[in-house]
Amino acid sequence: MPRLFGTDGVRGLANETLTVELSLRLAQAAAVVLGKGRYADGRRASGRRPVAVLARDPRISGEFIASAVAAGLASSGVDVYDAGVIPTPALAFLVADVNADFGVMVSASHNPAPDNGIKFFAAGGTKLPDEVEDRIEAALAELPIAPTGPEVGRIRRFSDAEDRYLVHLLGTLPTRLDGLHVVLDCANGAASGVSPDAFRGAGATLTLIGADPDGININDGVGSTHLEQLAKAVVEHGADLGIAHDGDADRCLAVDAAGNVVDGDQIMAILALSLKERGLLAQDTLVATVMSNLGLRLAMAENGVTMVETRVGDRYVLEALSRDDLSLGGEQSGHVIMTAHATTGDGILTGLHLAAELARTGKTLAELVSVMTVYPQIMVNVKDVDHESLADDDTIAAAVVVAQQKLGDRGRVLLRPSGTEPLVRVMVEASDQALADEIAHSLASVVRKRLSR
């Protein structure tokens, strides 16, 4: 059987893959694994029931899935604080803020509206390691805890959830945003309420798009995966910058005053140098994944910042940040983690601090982003191959060495086997797009010839 948990929780087509029954059982299994200090009969060693914070994004299926999750938790003796529609990073913050035992977010992030997902957060608001997710998956085969009488859980509305998160966000800023005009794209998602409040509270003048969720328009032509409207609006309104979130607001991408896209690597470059200048970049080190652009590595090296590389996935970035007690990391996709203020990627926090750097320095976003040159990058997916044999093939390894020698220190080659399908990803960066294309397709041919099944 394939693993139920993916790279970011359990996700699938709502009411087909992610059913009410599965949602209920996942909640019951999570109560067994994450409800700390529980005796086998459901009583608590501490004398109180465990507490979970529950939230969702605004897609319509979240209403019945969140209800199933709440029922599964309460029937297992867990008190549920239902925060309603709030961003994923808000849930993570609230789990820590109220000292809950765990949190549950119902969201499919940047996926289209028919999809949905369930992801869990541990006490303190951190994502679960793989081994804990495996324990929850194993617990699906066990009988759920079924307390009776006063031991069953209660479901209460978390009435000040958004206000707590908003106060937290505004309290992190080094300067106000007065005088800045920001176009904000909320992806018709979970940020549609709190993100505009945060930017207005910080003093920015706002133009809003994608901030009118109806349950079925989340990520539909708007948000961080569809930046065309944002770029157009920034230019039309003469704004200083645009900020885009995804459906659950754990990502942030930006657009400068001319409509040029600023990705997660470029945002990290700006924030890293700002934190270093102010003595706040721990060990003068930035954490990024192997997929971050070569330009980020070169820019950081030129400015005295060390880079630590991880596997693809914000959870692996967070693991490195926690392990080495570092302060900033993220992904090209816009997941940026600032550990002084958050336990996971927070698109609203990132957008606020990016805008604050414009306000602090008096520079435009284009001027700030000029610290980094984005190198041409191409990705070729080689399908239907024996991806598990990639690491053992000497011919492919030799071809990679030759390609890297041809690129020198101004280019990079990365071959990655897929974790879920018979596919190898060939990524090449170079100072010239034509050279990157040539080498990528040449390596893809070698991979296809050597690993064809």
Q: Which residues contact 176 (CB under 8 A, 6 or more apart)?
A: 202, 203, 356, 359
Q: Consult the annotation and say whether 392 binds a ligand.
A: no
Q: Could you tell me the CA-to-CA distances from 132 to 30, 36, 183, 221, 408 in Å, in that order?
A: 10, 13, 40, 36, 42
Q: Which residue's structure tokens are 């206000």? A: 163
Q: Consult the annotation and say whether 109 binds a ligand.
A: yes
Q: Consult the annotation and say whether 325 binds a ligand.
A: no
- Among this protein's residues, is 109 annotated catalytic? yes
CA–CA distance, 198 with 341 (Å, rounded to integer) = 15
Contact 120, 257 (CB under 8 A): no
Closest to 146 measured CA to CA, from 75, 68, 66, 52:
75
Phi, psi of 428 (to 5 degrees): -135, 135
Q: Consult the annotation and say whether 250 binds a ligand.
A: yes
What's the sign of the alpha-carbon dihedral 164, 166, 168, 170?
negative
Phi, psi of 112 (to 5 degrees): -65, 165
Tell me which of 109, 224, 274, 292 is the catalytic residue: 109
Q: Which residues contact 398 (CB under 8 A, 6 or more apart)?
A: none
Binding site listing: 109, 246, 248, 250
**What residues form the annotated binding site for Mg(2+)?**
109, 246, 248, 250
Q: Which residue numbers are catalytic?
A: 109
